[in-house]
Amino acid sequence: MTGENIAVFELNQALNDSVKALGIESIDAEFERPKHEGHGDRAANAAMRLAKTLKSNPRDIAQKISDKLLSIKPDFIEKTEIAGPGFINVFLSGKFYADVITDILRQGKDYGGVNLGRKRKIQVEFVSANPTGPLHIGHGRGAAVGDSVARILEFTGWDVQREYYVNDSGLQITNLGKSTQARYFELLGKKAELPENGYKGAYLYDIAREIINLEGDKFLNVNPDESLDYFKKYTADKIMAGIREDLELFRVKFDKFFPEGYLHENNLVNSAMNELKAKGYAYENDGALWFRTEETIGDDKDRVLIRANGIPTYYASDIAYHRNKFITRNFERVIDVWGADHHGYIARMKAAVKAMGRNPDDFTVLLIQLVNLLRDGQIVTMSTRSGEFITLREVLDEVGVDASRFFFLMRRSDSQLDFDLDLAKKEGSENPVYYVQYAHARISGILREYANRGGTFDTEILNGGIPSAIFDNKDARELADSLSRYPDAVKEASRDLAPQVLTGYVLNLAGIFHSFYNTNRIINEPDESIKAGRISIVKAAKTVIASCLQLLGVNAPERM
RNA sequence: GCGCCUGUAGCUCAGCGGAUAGAGCGUCGGCCUCCGGAGCCGAAGGUCAGGAGUUCGAAUCUCCUCAGGCGCGCCA
């Protein structure tokens, strides 16, 4: 029960008990929020859903359920109405809302932390950018999403491990080493060309310069093949260190950095391939090793695991890596956060998961779509080919961590995102992140002022002392209602791995708070019991906003 | 060619089987003798891309068409 709102739970329970009273098995009847004001505070369509099995008029059924509901929970329900084709519209009482608030204050920061995970092991692997260049804006979005998803899963009772897969071996690192090497030679006046798929970014000049400072020209006259390992390692380590710095600045922490090299050093790729062969999922042809993707997932063709030259493909290492996650480390679920350009790869990885004897549904890929940076309403063009891109660091320096994270999390991750740099910097209600943070700071200011004036928080309120009359006000009711639905928002975000549910929720909540503030005097309220009641509502709102922002990795400032 | 995703108000997007399709921004008009105006209130604005079906009911499910994006390497 932890995390749920007791009042909401009791109300739902009453609905289900009312349905059962008709002599029907439970149908998991639920209340929803009606769109229109006249339709009450909650509505249930249970009667319509039961009409067929009961072979009866939905409005008659609705009447029976409604009567029962009223008799079970008279103190929570002001009145009910049967409307339209058979909706049961419920108008909730002040007592209900008062109970909602007291329960939030009792639970404090645990409120909303519904235990869906039951301590099961889950891994979130994200960012995993190759150490070939600084993190760009797309990685930033992946970092924000992965980190927030991990926070949400932790809050909802999963045993979460955050991991970064470091692609520190393979062709591209060789390319990277050769690129730095070429810049090194170039700076020392020796003619050198970038390799065919070399990295053109200016940062490699910086690294080459560092190497010159450290080692001088000692590599100038030795065979480049002999010094290549040095250039590879120095460059990758240097870039990885920069990536770690950026992540720290972005408030993203990992439990483990898993190097690809570990798989090769421990022969795990070979053993994974042998297992596939033994189970009949892989076969040799034309000197290469192939996975039967055509047969297992209806792919166009089978895919190569080990090239004819003996070098394993990325697919092969990835299979070994995921085998390590699922089998060796025994994660119940594995979540990978990938760039959207990899979506063709999902089915193949699921096939591999199946081949290792695990349910492909235990493996989820979150795709991160493109971010369009906007300045002056224009898209800031980026080109990875030319090596010109906006780095995450540049954006953080310009608009800050809070605004960046909030903006990255405003849309579902698999749809494109317009990131308006000018908007992210504005200090006004047009800027969503300031709007929400301002609500939190405003409440903090009110509570500070309350304390300055000698106000104390009366714990009697926790024993049902919030006067119901407070909720005669529409804004007060709206506010309590929104707060009562926080656990549902958290559950949805956790089940769907969808932080944008929470950005949407907290934006809406902040708006409702601001309206409430404009129509309800708080510390200037002359009636002491009403004042105390309003203080408790405001405290509950602060608790929920702070909780929600924490799940997004955004600060909840006391003043701003 | 095959496959996946998207098309909802001027703009950015919610809603994904239920009652008169919502929000923010932008536009226009209001609100500070009082707790944080980084705020609030109101108005205008829509053949839910188009068409056909499924049903008591479709923006939501199915099929077709159109438009945009992406993916289909012994790349990663």
Residue A159's H or E segment, with its range, is strand A159-166
Can you give the distance from the CA of residue A481 to the C1' of nucleotide B30 in angstroms?
Answer: 29
Question: Domain A432-552 maps to which CATH number in 1.10.730.10, 3.40.190.10, 3.30.565.10, 3.40.50.300?
Answer: 1.10.730.10
Nucleotide nearest to A43 (CA to C1'): B19
CA distances from A410 to A152, A261, A407, A418, A541 (A): 15, 36, 5, 10, 21
Phi and psi based region of residue A365 (left: phi greater than 0; alpha: psi -120 to 50; beta: remaining) = beta
Pairing of strands A77-83, A371-375: unpaired
Can you give the distance from the CA of residue A533 to the C1' of nucleotide B76 in angstroms?
Answer: 59
Q: Which two tokens stand for residue A538?
A: 């405001």
Confirm whether any atom of chain B, the nucleic acid strand, is less than 7 Å from CB of A416: yes
Confirm whether any atom of chain B, the nucleic acid strand, is less than 7 Å from CB of A167: yes
Characterize A82-92 residue by residue with b for buried, 16 or more Cβ atoms within 10 angstroms of its Cβ, and e for exposed: bbeebbbbbeb
Range list of β-strands (E), A209-339: 256-259, 282-285, 288-291, 303-306, 333-339
- What pLDDT is attached to residue A227? 94
Nearest by Cα to A135 from A329, A339, A343: A339
Confirm whether any atom of chain B, the nucleic acid strand, is less than 7 Å from CB of A434: yes
- What pLDDT is attached to residue A459? 62
Can you give the distance from the CA of residue A367 to the C1' of nucleotide B63 in angstroms?
Answer: 28
HEC sequence for A219-253: CCCCCHHHHHHHHHHHHHHHHHHHHHHHHHHCCCC
Nearest by Cα to A467 from A108, A105, A99: A99
Residue nearest to nucleotide B21 (CA to C1'): A35
CB distance A161 to A373 below 8 Å: no
* Three-state secondary structure call for residue A371: strand
- What pLDDT is attached to residue A60? 86
Cα–Cα distance between A425 and A407 in angstroms, integer? Answer: 11
Q: What is the ipTM of this complex?
A: 0.93
Nearest by Cα to A544 from A496, A497, A507: A507
Residues 201-240 of chain A with CB under 7 A from strand B are none
DSSP A380: -
- What pLDDT is attached to residue A386? 47
Chain-centroid distance, C-alpha A534: 32
- What pLDDT is attached to residue A31? 87
CB distance A503 to A409 below 8 Å: yes
DSSP A328: I
Q: Provide the 10 A C-beta neighbour count for residue A185.
A: 18
The angle at the Cα of A140, spanning A406 to A494, to the nearest 5 degrees, equals 55
Residue A364's H or E segment, with its range, is strand A363-368
Beta-carbon-side half-sphere exposure of residue A447 (alpha carbons within 13 Å) = 18
CA distances from A83 to A35, A58, A258, A477 (A): 14, 10, 58, 22
Q: pLDDT tens digit string along A399-425? A: 999 999 999 999 988 888 889 898 999
Q: Which two tokens stand for residue A460?
A: 């009697």
Can you give the distance from the CA of residue A380 to the C1' of nucleotide B66 in angstroms?
Answer: 30
- What pLDDT is attached to residue A1? 67
CA distances from A487 to A71, A113, A159, A490 (A): 27, 7, 19, 5
* Three-state secondary structure call for residue A25: coil
Q: In what order do the strands lie in the sheet with A417-420?
A: A378-379, A371-375, A417-420
DSSP A285: E
Pairing of strands A371-375, A363-368: unpaired
- What pLDDT is attached to residue A166? 94
Q: Which two tokens stand for residue A516?
A: 């409430």
Confirm whether any atom of chain B, the nucleic acid strand, is less than 7 Å from CB of A427: yes
Domains A6-92 and A432-552 share a fold: no
Characterize A501-529 residue by residue with b for buried, 16 or more Cβ atoms within 10 angstroms of its Cβ, and e for exposed: bbbbbbbebbbbbeebbeebebbebeeeb
**Domain map (residue ranges) of chain A:** 6-92, 432-552
Can you give the distance from the CA of residue A62 to the C1' of nucleotide B42 in angstroms?
Answer: 37
Cα–Cα distance between A73 and A14 in angstroms, integer? Answer: 7
Nucleotide nearest to A314 (CA to C1'): B76
Confirm whether any atom of chain B, the nucleic acid strand, is less than 7 Å from CB of A84: yes
Nearest by Cα to A209 from A234, A175, A241: A234
Confirm whether any atom of chain B, the nucleic acid strand, is less than 7 Å from CB of A172: yes
Residue A368's H or E segment, with its range, is strand A363-368
Residue numbers in chain A where pLDDT is lower than 50: 384-387
Q: How many residues does the structure list for chain A?
A: 560
Cα–Cα distance between A39 and A90 in angstroms, integer? Answer: 8
**Residue A74, burial from CB neighbour count under 10 angstroms (0-12, 13-18, 19+):** exposed
Q: Which two tokens stand for residue A111?
A: 């409120």
The CATH classification number of A6-92 equals 3.30.1360.70
CB distance A207 to A232 below 8 Å: no
Cα–Cα distance between A506 and A445 in angstroms, integer? Answer: 19
Nucleotides on chain B within 7 angstroms of protein Cβ: 1-6, 12-14, 18-26, 34-41, 56, 69-76
Nucleotide nearest to A531 (CA to C1'): B35
DSSP A78-138: EEEEEETTTEEEEEEPHHHHHHHHHHHHHHGGGTT----STT-EEEEE-----TTS--BHH
Q: pLDDT tens digit string along A459-471? A: 656 665 799 999 9
DSSP A391-428: BHHHHHHHH-HHHHHHHHTSS-TTS-EEEEHHHHH--S
Cα–Cα distance between A81 and A90 in angstroms, integer? Answer: 7
Confirm whether any atom of chain B, the nucleic acid strand, is less than 7 Å from CB of A45: yes
Confirm whether any atom of chain B, the nucleic acid strand, is less than 7 Å from CB of A526: no
Residue carrying structure tokens 């903006």 = A407
